[in-house]
Structure 1
Amino acid sequence: MESAIDSLRHGGDVLFLMLGAVMVFAMHAGFAFLEVGTVRKKSQVNAFVKILSDWSVSTVVYFLIGYPIAYGTNFLRPAGELLGADMGYELVRFFFLLCFAACIPAIISGGIAERARFWPQVLAGAIFAGITYPLFESLIWGQNSGGLQGFFENTFGAPFHDFAGSVVVHSMGGWLALPAVLFLGNRQGRFVRGKSHPIPISNIPFLALGSWILAVGWFGFNVMSAQKLEGISGLVAVNSLLAMVGGVLFALVASRNDPGFVHNGALAGLIAICAGSDLVHPLAAFFIGGLGALIFVYGFQWEQEKLKIDDVLGVWPLHGIIGTWGGISAGIFGSTALGGMGGVSFVSQLAGSLMAVAYALATGALIYGVITKTIGFRLDDDQEFRGPDLSIHNIHSYPEDYVR
């Protein structure tokens, strides 16, 4: 009887986490369509191929290198040992957490769109998914978390809390993208003699589809971060919903009905709530998501028009800055005084969030600096003018339009 109960529990955990992995895997289609809808027609094929290729490379390097770094588990053992008595739970946990690691190159892809060479970015993505991200992951969630988290708890009263990756995943991806965008420089014609010339997006329906796919999959991203069936939380689900809605409504008002900002507002809310989704009150989640959307609307405009940084999808403000806000907001709204669950320290959240920023900027600058100086990172002028679809993949996104 006890054996049957254990089998049922292990099977339930494996199924629970596998469904979460599939939902987060589907989010990568959302990343693809969001980018395809935002870039010009001459860059759409490249967006699709980049994200699928980055996913595939990330799978291999995270399986062989990244997951062992983060969690100390080596998969180079007989299949029977990998299956084990828990029905292969560690394998499906790898699948689930791989989906997080592979978000890093997918996030960066949107910032560097339309002018980056293909293989140098695949190489950078492999380094991030196989080494850079797992090292930080090990300090917060993994095998090396005891030392750092113990320091935070002993010094500031509580460990750093990031339930579903506002900081570990999104902030990391957004701040890694910033050096890449700066090293690449702006697209041809984006700024002429210091004057801004915005480049129109190509397809609002594709952009909206990408946002919807990401939003639906996000409930797997957040809820299944419990990683065990017994840890499932209705609070996480409803907080994710309220944060998403807050992001949409705040962006709707702040942007004056701009469809790009409205659909990215949903993502801003979801990014912001990841860290504290298991802690805060649903009404707090609504305002965390709403404030995240305001950061994106005004942050994107500030980045593009004041700083003159051609971050095509705005991944630095969307993932980087809002991810940092998500980590900090858990320390504010997670307190019992504001209706939260407690057990969290504002100073720990601030310190952990800023540590991620420093780590991502330093490693991103190092890796992209080396790539730029050695093998080169940007398409030449003629290749960029023709577009990466023709220059890299030798085909248009709509080939029949060019049949003579």
Structure 2
Amino acid sequence: MGRRTFLLVLLMTAISLTHVAAQDVEAVLELYSQAFDMIWLTLAGALVFLMQAGFAMVETGLTRAKNAGNIIMKNLMDFSMGAIAYFAVGWAIMYGASAAGLVGTDQFFLAGADSADFRDWFFQVVFAATAATIVSGAMAERTKYSGYLLYSAVVSGLIYPVSGHWIWSDAGWLAGMGFHDFAGSTVVHSVGAWAALAGAIMIGARRGKYVKVGDVVTVKAIQGHNMPLAALGVFILWFGWYGFNAGSTLSGTDLDIAYVATTTTLAASAGAIAAMVTSWKWFGKPDPSMSLNGALAGLVAITAGTWVISPGLSLLVGALGGVIVVISVEIIDKVLHVDDPVGAISVHGITGIWGTLAVGLFGDLELIGSGLTRGGQIGVQLIGIGAVLLWVLSTSFILFYLLKTWGLLRVSPEDELLGLDISEHGTESYAGFQIFSNV
């Protein structure tokens, strides 16, 4: 082929390809956008799923060795039970066609789902499981395993999806008011925490935790058995949070992914430091468990506003979360006498309130896009906080009351003393080691 002929063929090919590209460029870009979204949300969902391991390690490390296997089993099964419940009814209640902005009414068992629906279901089911597993830590070491299976399914299949519909469904009544919760400070974390609060109150404290002599109540610290394991759990949770927050951009082509990852990182770091300093001043030593919970508090606090709060202000949001969690843990334990072995109510509930309110206080109103004034946004955030709290507390108290009435809530004193690994599962987590405990 001569030089001129080759150049002519090349020119004609380029003209042809240009013509084809001009006609199909929009379709090609849409295809690539869908592919990036599919990959990103599936990957982000997998990162959030890994948080189950993080929760399991935190709860195991901060409780006693005789209950380690029980903690592992509960974290395995709250996802397994929750996934099926969310498949059967949870997704439909949360994202089905809305009835007055209150509840979804179709797509049960993912009926009529397409590839995008399966993608979105997978990304959402791991959030539902996160809400359910928060309850495990607050009720650890004295809960019947059978009862735990039941309430995990109810939280994932009903309690979480209803409030999720209010906020994350486009037709939800709180969404219509302009309530903003980017990745779930209220939708996920506070839901889990309020259910945990109801459960911890209903089930009562662990044996020997609070000893009353006359009018004086002595609070006994029941130490967790493995702080390195708890620390590993926090690092896994922090890692998974990049799927939790950055994944909530919901698009693999969204250039704000890195922005969200930045505010998430800064808030967690500030929370850990602030909790360390607060515990150092309060207790005279920098407390490891408080510092670890401080990192989680910073993460929970920024989750609602991670996209609309600046990096500089994310430091403030996270730091105040770290201070709040130390104060809250102490008040809930030593003043209110609610036994929460891992501080779940404080980390996910009290700090979740702060993070949701911080959206109104510090969020960029243009990015929020609600059209509200600063005062109006704060007011709507407070309404959402209160509505979810009332819904979850009321339904959870009913749920745990029924479980208690049916004898499915608390193990016997003898089983609690023996440890749930042996009494509930007939096994030991640390075979070959002698585990002594008088509480």
Q: What TM-score results when the alignment is normalised by the length of structure 2?
A: 0.85
**Deviation at residue 376 of structure 1 after TM alignment:** 3.0
Report Cα offsets for 1:280-318 as digits up to 9, x if no partner. 111111111111111110110111111111111111111
Q: Say if 2:185 is the partner of 1:166.
A: yes
Q: C-alpha distance in 2, partners of 1:232/1:163?
A: 16
**Deviation at residue 179 of structure 1 after TM alignment:** 1.1
Q: Say if 2:133 is the partner of 1:106.
A: yes
User: Which of 317, 329, 333 is equivalent to 1:300?
Assistant: 329
2:91·2:108 contact (CA, 8 Å) conserved in 1?
no
Q: Which residue of 1 aligns with 2:296?
A: 267
Question: What is the RMSD computed on CA atoms of the aligned residues?
Answer: 1.9
Q: C-alpha distance in 2, partners of 1:341/1:130?
A: 29
- Secondary structure of 2:189's counterpart equals helix
Q: Identify if the C-alpha distance between structure 1 residues 76 and 169 changes in structure 2 by more than 3 Å, giving closer, same or farther.
A: closer
- Secondary structure of 2:432's counterpart equals helix
Q: C-alpha distance in 1, partners of 2:245/2:79?
A: 20
Q: C-alpha distance in 2, partners of 1:144/1:137?
A: 11
**Deviation at residue 204 of structure 1 after TM alignment:** 0.7
Q: Say if 2:312 is the partner of 1:283.
A: yes
Q: C-alpha distance in 2, partners of 1:244/1:335?
A: 20
Q: Which residue of 2 aligns with 1:136?
A: 163
User: Which of 410, 417, 424 is equivalent to 1:392?
Assistant: 424
What percentage of residue pairs aligned between the two structures are identical?
34
Q: Say if 2:58 is the partner of 1:26.
A: no
Q: C-alpha distance in 2, partners of 1:178/1:105?
A: 13
Report Cα offsets for 1:232-278 as digits up to 9, x if no partner. 41321111111001101101100111111111111000000011111
- Secondary structure of 1:400's counterpart equals coil
Mapping 1:142-221, distance limit 5 Å: 142=169, 144-145=171-172, 147-150=173-176, 152=177, 159-193=178-212, 194-221=217-244
- Secondary structure of 2:121's counterpart equals helix
Q: Which residue of 2 aligns with 1:242?
A: 266
Q: Which residue of 1 aligns with 2:102?
A: none
Q: 1:273 is matched by which residue type in structure 2?
A: I
Q: Which residue of 1 aligns with 2:342?
A: 313
Q: Which moved more, 1:69-78 or 1:248-257?
A: 69-78
**Deviation at residue 122 of structure 1 after TM alignment:** 1.1
Q: Which moved more, 1:262-271 or 1:188-197?
A: 188-197
Report Cα offsets for 1:321-358 as digits up to 9, x if no partner. 1111111111001146xx98775611111111121111
Q: Which residue of 1 aligns with 2:107?
A: 74
2:36·2:253 contact (CA, 8 Å) conserved in 1?
no
1:223·1:232 contact (CA, 8 Å) conserved in 2?
no
Report Cα offsets for 1:83-134 as digits up to 9, x if no partner. x5xxx22212111111110112210000000000001111011011001111
**Deviation at residue 141 of structure 1 after TM alignment:** 0.6
Q: C-alpha distance in 2, partners of 1:362/1:373?
A: 17
- Give the gaps of 5 or more residues in structure 1: 153-158
Q: 1:149 is matched by which residue type in structure 2?
A: A
Q: 2:238 is matched by which residue type in structure 1?
A: A
Q: Which residue of 1 aligns with 2:247?
A: 224
Q: Which residue of 2 aligns with 1:381?
A: 413
Q: C-alpha distance in 2, partners of 1:40/1:356?
A: 32
Q: Identify if the C-alpha distance between structure 1 residues 269 and 23 changes in structure 2 by more than 3 Å, giving closer, same or farther.
A: same
Q: C-alpha distance in 1, partners of 2:335/2:174?
A: 37
- Give the gaps of 5 or more residues in structure 2: 1-23, 97-105, 281-285
Q: Say if 2:275 is the partner of 1:251.
A: yes
Q: 1:241 is matched by which residue type in structure 2?
A: T
- Secondary structure of 1:372's counterpart equals helix
Q: C-alpha distance in 1, partners of 2:61/2:429?
A: 12
Q: C-alpha distance in 2, partners of 1:58/1:319?
A: 19
Q: C-alpha distance in 2, partners of 1:56/1:27?
A: 14
Q: C-alpha distance in 2, partners of 1:340/1:120?
A: 43
Q: Identify if the C-alpha distance between structure 1 residues 266 and 391 changes in structure 2 by more than 3 Å, giving closer, same or farther.
A: same
| Runs of 4 or more consecutive aligned structure 1 residues displaced over 6 Å after TM superposition | 339-342
Q: C-alpha distance in 2, partners of 1:386/1:297?
A: 31
Instruction: Give the number of the structure whose alpha-carbon radius of gyration is greater.
Output: 2
Q: 1:276 is matched by which residue type in structure 2?
A: G
Q: What TM-score results when the alignment is normalised by the length of structure 1?
A: 0.92
- Secondary structure of 1:401's counterpart equals coil
Q: Identify if the C-alpha distance between structure 1 residues 390 and 77 changes in structure 2 by more than 3 Å, giving closer, same or farther.
A: closer
Q: C-alpha distance in 1, partners of 2:254/2:399?
A: 38
1:196·1:305 contact (CA, 8 Å) conserved in 2?
yes
Q: Identify if the C-alpha distance between structure 1 residues 141 and 190 changes in structure 2 by more than 3 Å, giving closer, same or farther.
A: same
Q: Which moved more, 1:45-54 or 1:227-236?
A: 227-236
**Deviation at residue 143 of structure 1 after TM alignment:** 5.5
2:92·2:110 contact (CA, 8 Å) conserved in 1?
no
**Deviation at residue 5 of structure 1 after TM alignment:** 3.2
1:166·1:324 contact (CA, 8 Å) conserved in 2?
yes
- Secondary structure of 1:114's counterpart equals coil
Q: C-alpha distance in 2, partners of 1:93/1:385?
A: 44
Q: 1:211 is matched by which residue type in structure 2?
A: V
Q: C-alpha distance in 1, partners of 2:85/2:367?
A: 38
1:332·1:346 contact (CA, 8 Å) conserved in 2?
yes
